[in-house]
Structure 1
Amino acid sequence: MSEVLFNTHDAVLLCTMLMCIIFALLLLQLPQPSKLHKVFIIGFCLASFAIPLDILINFGAGFHPWMVKHHLTLIYLFEFGAWLQAPMAYFLVRSQLDKNFQFKAIDYLLLLPLFLNTSHQLIAYHSLPLAIKESIQSTMDIMDLSITIFFVQTAREIFRLALALASITLLKKYTLTPESNLKPNQLTWLHVLAYGLCLYTSISLLNAIFLTAQVLTKYSLPVGYIGLFQNYICAVYFISLVSKLHSDAVQQCFLKPLQLSKGTTKSGFNFAHIQTLEPLMLNNKIYTNPELSLDDLAHSVGVSPRTLSGVINGHYGCSFFEFINGYRIQEAKRLLSESAHKSTSVLDIMYEAGFNSKATFNGMFKKTEGMTPSQYRKTMCMHQMAGFEARP
């Protein structure tokens, strides 16, 4: 009979590792504020991939004995992930919010624990002969380990939780800044990243405290169940990140119609059609006609509906419906944020922007901006008041 390496709990760890890879690929497809930002993406995803792999190697019911037998040198090799993940997440949030972010000397202090732990592992374990490593793994009992190890693990989780909370603080401060240039929907995945990491590290800290208490008191505590729960939470965390980031990537087509094309279009499209189409949208605001159809717009541009549909799909990367409603959403945002329309109802603004369905308007607005039109108006009002109060 073939050897069974993975059980159901191990499959959760494997799923988390897969989600880390997908998350990295999705994130790298989005426009990056800087090259340094890309480094933090890779660093965060690499660390997040290493954590479940390290757990699988050390605690997998079937996988751990197999690793001891076949790949003993890889044990403890991926422990760096737990020390690297939180600093990379913090730097990732900072570099996303601040396009001028520069890595300073003081920032290296956040990587010092990683360096110290890696150095200790190289000296205390990886430099040992294979025979001694095999002896350690075959006789090791968690209750016989030095209490110092558990105090270090607890300190590590406190460090990770502190950085997760620091990331949340950065996001809160940025959201309240009137000059913030990222839209709410562009911040949502960052909130999922920061708040999810905070939850995950809180459970990790609880488990570390229970482990320390168990070793000190010799009482049996539910550390195994907490550890399993932590693994499942981590899987849900990365599935949520991938889901949200994929949703944000799809929503980018709503922003494309507002970008004037200066160069040539993709092969096969006549740039003259774009030059005719965009003034109709930006200057004539033809999209404010709620009855506007593809045929109507094609007639105004002077092309066939099929040609116009091909231009919109190929050049802007979205459908006619998404193209028109992208402009309508932007117009609604402008009206909602202007003080001259402060007394205008949201329903009237909806009609003025070109929508004739409240459900469609609210649904698309929330999908694009991450909040309802009314919430958006309140947020913009708060920003304007904050900006006014900040003036000398």
Structure 2
Amino acid sequence: MSNFDFYSSNVILTFKKWVLAFQFVLVALAAIAQNDLTISVEVKIPLLLEDEHIYMASDFNDWNPGDSKYKLNKVAPQQYEIKIKNPPSRFEYKFTQGTWATSEGTPAGESLSNRVFKRSENPSNLVETVILGWEEQIVYTVIVSSIPENTPKDASIYITGNFNNWVPNDENYRLRKSIDGSYRTIVYSDKPFLDFKFTRGSWATVEARESGKARPNRRLDRSKTTQIDNLEFSITGWEDLQGTFSLFSIYDLLLLFSVFQGILLLIAIPSIQSNNKPANNWLLLSIALSSVSLLFYLLSNFSGAVQAFPKIIFLADFIIFLYSPLYFFYLRKLLFNDTSLPSRWYFHFLPFVIQVFAYLPFLLNSNKEMLNTIMNQDTMLVYVFLTTGILGLIWNSYYWNLFRTMIKNYRTQFETNFSYEQNLNYLNTVLYIHLVCLMLWGAFFVVFGYSRWQNWDTVNLQENFIDTIWLSFSVVSFFLGYFAIHQTETFKADPQSVSIFDDILESRVAEKITLEENEDKSKHDTGNEELIKDLEKIMEEKKPFHNPKLTLSELAKQIGSQPHILSKAINEHYGKNFFDLINGYRIEEFKKLIQNPSFHNFTLLALAYEVGFNSKTAFNRSFKKATDQTPKEYFNQIKKK
């Protein structure tokens, strides 16, 4: 055989193989084509939505009611069809208008059973059917009566929520402008709760509070909503249009100022102040916690930050159970002579640890899952936040009472030993600020509970309560930091047990009281009378009260007695403590000097300093307490005489 014949036979053989392969492909394609299914649908009633789209939801597309891959094509008026390639031999399906709220039903509006296709019962590739009705759903008529003035004139407004899978630009839910200037649309839903928001077509242009800050989802409770055909709302702001400031509002700037101030105090206090160092260490921890929490809260008000890191909404909450124990130990170290922590100190921080574990399941979620949880206002998330808030209010109220008791006990011990006032009034100011925060906190829950009971939209009022709490709390760092820098070393009182977690202080105080009582048993009334005579004599002759820094120990030394014995004698004989007794002598001396012609050129304050008072505040307070008059009122009274 020649080479030519050999090559010719090979070419012919190869050609035959390609022909056979091509024929096989054609047969396969024909077989596949025979398996394709066409479903033709005639719609005999008007559609619910204006876009006239119909979808097929089935068990092979996870019953997605608005799957674009299974949208029917409109081939004629009221006639739709869809071609399904290589469908299963058996499947169930239903027709919708994009959501389960617009699913097909019976002519009477009742629920319709799933349609079933079986290849064995329908060997042809065509299914012809009709839609005779739509499942009757709750119909909400949504009316937006007012929108922000800075809304773009050509903007489209949409409503999005759990009824349309939170699609922000769903044309089925675009609001139409009416002649009266309002915007209207209809929402179909059978859900017990309708969670929703208004947008201008994207999540970047979602509605907000008047300040431009993110607002929670709106919610309607179907069981408590009566006029569903006339639901009127107002849009107060947009997140991308924040009014006067392009980025920050005045409120934001105040919180930001407090954050920076806290950072400066963290640097300044250790550098400048060497007094009260153990107490200031606790103060620095509380200021650091406050500053970080304020920053997290500030960031959580911006949708961009929440979109990027949704877990930020949890971080500011950790201050709820952590701040009060830190401030408690600050007061303990500042005011009392206590060198060690109680053996059960860690119980103070146990609620914080529990809170961390309660938040942990949410913190371990992905950002996408967390956003969906926030968007849908997950029931568990709401319960966790509510439980945390209520328990936090109780916890911080308990500590507020501890703070008040500690300051009161300290003042009592101080006035027993000293005749002047120590500048710790800022602690009372902080105590009042804490009280304001607690009252606003309680008012928030009252409003929240009432809004749920009456189904009223009080979101703006609730948000204002929260904002005011944070703004009030931000002032605390200023007071504490400023006075910590200028504070001299404070007198350390004997520690007392005030907390349920204290267990080692009670014995110290009890031992001291027992010791004093045993010593005083040896003193008779006659001895006390002699002691009082010695006291009054030295007061008249040497006038030790002229010393602004006079202490009980110094006076007892001059008399030749023990401080606790002198203190007990003063209490029993005069019914006063050392502080009130000495200031009483100073006031009587002031009354004498004010009528002395030699002192007529002195001001009232100069006379107060002359008799031993060390501040105008202490003088005015003591004078008012002793005479029920202010110094000026007393001066005017004697002038008339």
Q: Same fold (TM over 0.5)?
A: yes
- Is the alpha carbon distance of 1:68 and 1:339 closer, same or farther for their aligned partners in structure 2, counting shifts above 3 Å? closer
CA deviations on 1:278-306 (whole Å, 9 max, x unpaired) are: xxxxxxxxxxxxxxxxxxxxxxxxxxxxx
- Is the alpha carbon distance of 1:124 and 1:347 closer, same or farther for their aligned partners in structure 2, counting shifts above 3 Å? farther
Structure 1 position 375, deviation (Å): 4.0
Q: Does structure 1 residue 109 correspond to structure 2 residue 347?
A: yes
Tell me if structure 1 keeps the 8 A contact 2:440–2:465: yes
Q: Does structure 1 residue 52 correspond to structure 2 residue 297?
A: no
CA deviations on 1:173-201 (whole Å, 9 max, x unpaired) are: 21112456796343122222223222222
Partner residue in 2 for 1:288: none
Partner residue in 1 for 2:47: none
Partner residue in 2 for 1:230: 469
Tell me if structure 1 keeps the 8 A contact 2:276–2:334: yes
Partner residue in 1 for 2:547: 331
Higher RCO, Cα 8 Å, sep 6+: 1
Question: Hey, what's the Cα distance between the residues in 1 that align with 2:424 and 2:291?
Answer: 23
Structure 1 position 49, deviation (Å): 1.6
Higher strand share: 2
Alignment of 1:234-273 (within 5 A): 234-241=473-480, 245=483, 249=486
Partner residue in 2 for 1:277: none
Partner residue in 2 for 1:43: 285
- Is the alpha carbon distance of 1:13 and 1:340 closer, same or farther for their aligned partners in structure 2, counting shifts above 3 Å? closer
Structure 1 position 158, deviation (Å): 1.8
CA deviations on 1:88-126 (whole Å, 9 max, x unpaired) are: 1222112111132421232322211111112222x2122
Q: 1:128 aligns with which of 336, 351, 365?
A: 365
Question: Hey, what's the Cα distance between the residues in 2 that align with 1:127 and 1:360?
Answer: 67
Structure 1 position 87, deviation (Å): 1.5
- Is the alpha carbon distance of 1:372 and 1:77 closer, same or farther for their aligned partners in structure 2, counting shifts above 3 Å? closer
- Is the alpha carbon distance of 1:182 and 1:68 closer, same or farther for their aligned partners in structure 2, counting shifts above 3 Å? farther
Structure 1 position 11, deviation (Å): 1.9
Q: 2:252 aligns with which of 3, 7, 10?
A: 10
- Is the alpha carbon distance of 1:151 and 1:359 closer, same or farther for their aligned partners in structure 2, counting shifts above 3 Å? same
- Match for 2:428: what amino acid? H
Question: Hey, what's the Cα distance between the residues in 1 that align with 2:409 and 2:290?
Answer: 26
Structure 1 position 145, deviation (Å): 4.7
Partner residue in 2 for 1:161: 397
Percent identical among aligned pairs is: 13
Higher helix share: 1
Alignment partner of 2:423: what SS?
A: helix
- Is the alpha carbon distance of 1:363 and 1:83 closer, same or farther for their aligned partners in structure 2, counting shifts above 3 Å? farther
Q: What is the aligned length?
A: 294
- Match for 1:163: what amino acid? Y
Task: Note the aligned Cα RMSD (angstroms).
Answer: 4.4
Tell me if structure 2 keeps the 8 A contact 1:16–1:235: yes
- Is the alpha carbon distance of 1:365 and 1:104 closer, same or farther for their aligned partners in structure 2, counting shifts above 3 Å? farther
Structure 1 position 340, deviation (Å): 7.7
Alignment of 1:62-211 (within 5 A): 63=302, 65-121=303-359, 123-137=360-374, 139-141=375-377, 145-177=381-413, 178-179=415-416, 184-211=421-448
Tell me if structure 2 keeps the 8 A contact 1:54–1:77: yes
Question: Hey, what's the Cα distance between the residues in 1 that align with 2:254 and 2:446?
Answer: 24
Question: Hey, what's the Cα distance between the residues in 2 that align with 1:216 and 1:231?
Answer: 26
User: What TM-score, normalized to structure 2?
Assistant: 0.39
CA deviations on 1:326-384 (whole Å, 9 max, x unpaired) are: xxx983454983898785236749x999x95434565999996573336458999xxxx
- Match for 1:234: what amino acid? F
Partner residue in 2 for 1:291: none
Tell me if structure 1 keeps the 8 A contact 2:546–2:586: no
Partner residue in 1 for 2:457: 220
Partner residue in 2 for 1:257: none
- Is the alpha carbon distance of 1:376 and 1:26 closer, same or farther for their aligned partners in structure 2, counting shifts above 3 Å? farther
Partner residue in 2 for 1:33: 276
Alignment partner of 2:547: what SS?
A: helix
Question: Hey, what's the Cα distance between the residues in 2 that align with 1:30 and 1:367?
Answer: 27
CA deviations on 1:143-180 (whole Å, 9 max, x unpaired) are: 89533531331110121122112101111121112456
User: What TM-score, normalized to structure 1?
Assistant: 0.60
Structure number, greater radius of gyration: 2
Alignment of 1:350-365 (within 5 A): 356-360=602-606
